[in-house]
Amino acid sequence: MIDDKLTGNEAGPCAEHLAVMEQSLISLEAGGAEMDGAVLNRLLRATRSMLEEAGRCGVAKVSALAERTERALVPIRLDRAAPAPDRVTVLLRAIDTLRAILDDPDAEGPDISEIMRALASLSGARQNPQPPRGADWQLRTLVVEDDFTGRLLLHTFLSRYGECHVAVNGREAVEAFGAALESGKGYDLVCMDIMMPEMDGEEAVRQIRAAEEARGILSHAGARIIMTTALNSLSEVMLCFRDLCDAYLVKPIDLTRLFEHMKTFGLVV
């Protein structure tokens, strides 16, 4: 049984991540309309590191609140613009609440229900939706899946919205993604399985993000990556988010949830 308390050794890294999150949010708001991609990536990495630490220590309140905070950051990543003051206020309140729990791990801690509701309201809508696409625009998707049935399901569904290509392992995915970037027709969405032969999904995501960064494309402006996995494991999910994926779905894939993610990312209307 996991003890629902933090030791001093566990609380230290969490407090450091919270400090980075707080400083990064304030910097983004102060930067005005122009997004500083480096600061945004620092904020996202600190949040995911916080989630990873919370997952290790097993403190339910910290894990739940940190996860909801991470979800509320998605619109900032997608909008490519500084967050509005009201959004920053709620996120800073969430950080203060997390800090209060960490400062007194032996106490019952504050009621997080209200801040959880406030964060949920932030994650449901984008601040600055993408401008309308041209009439001839079509979604370009790469499905990476070694299971034939899963590959067929996703390909059939996603082909409704545009051009959909497939790869059967991470190595093929990295090659296909690089070729698409070189051609000037990069992918808008990647559905990436985690467990695959030759190269797994986690390594493939790292190489895909590196390929984007080599071309001056920061992760918040690149392809949207949804991890698909049969592992309903917090540690696996946190590893993927640390490598800058955008969402994850547990198999069997719920196509309704996939469509909801696509709408959140501004890929469909």
pLDDT digits (tens, 9 = 90+) for 119-171: 877 765 443 344 445 556 789 999 999 999 999 999 999 999 999 999 999 99
On whether both 113 and 15 belong to a single domain, the answer is yes
Residue 69 identity = T
What size, in residues, is the chain?
Answer: 269
Q: Give the end of a domain, one of 68, 90, 123.
A: 123
Question: What's the total number of domains in the chain?
Answer: 2
Out of 40-54, 58-72, 129-143, 231-245, least confident range:
231-245
Answer yes or no: is 106 within a domain. yes
CATH code for the domain of 212: 3.40.50.2300
Same domain, residue pair 190 and 249: yes
Residue finishing a domain among 99, 123, 147: 123
pLDDT at residue 82 greater than cutoff 90? no
For position 47, which CATH number holds? 1.20.120.160
| Cα–Cα dist 243/124, whole Å | 23
User: Which band of pLDDT confidence, cut at 50, 70 and 90, is reported for residue 108?
Assistant: low
Q: Check residue 151 and give its pLDDT.
A: 92
Residue 122 confidence (pLDDT): 75
**Which residue would you say has higher pLDDT here, 44 or 194?**
194
The parent domain of residue 256 ranges over 139-264
Residue 193, φ and ψ in degrees, nearest 5: -70, 155
* Mean pLDDT within 184-207: 91
- Do 117 and 196 belong to one domain? no
Element holding 256 (H helix, E strand) = helix 255-264
Query: In this structure, is residue 1 part of a structural domain?
Result: no
Average pLDDT of the segment spanning 178-197: 92
Answer yes or no: is 131 within a domain: no
Which of 55-69, 108-122, 208-222, 250-264 shows the lowest per-residue confidence on average (mean pLDDT)? 55-69
The two structure tokens encoding residue 214: 């080599």
Q: Whose structure tokens read 């909008």?
A: 79
Q: How confident is the model at residue 19 (pLDDT cuts 50, 70, 90)?
A: very high
Does residue 114 lie within any of the structural domains? yes
**The pair of three-digit structure tokens given for residue 112, joined into one six-digit string:** 């997080």
Closest to 71 measured CA to CA, from 263, 234, 254, 241 = 241
Q: Do 88 and 155 sit in the same domain of this protein?
A: no
Lowest mean pLDDT among 13-17, 30-34, 237-241, 247-251: 237-241
**In the prediction, which pLDDT does 52 show?**
72
Q: Do 150 and 83 share a structural domain?
A: no
Full-prediction pTM beyond 0.85?
Answer: no
**Banded pLDDT at 214 (limits 50, 70, 90):** confident
| Least confident span in 180-189, 236-245, 248-257 | 236-245
pLDDT over 90, % of the chain: 29
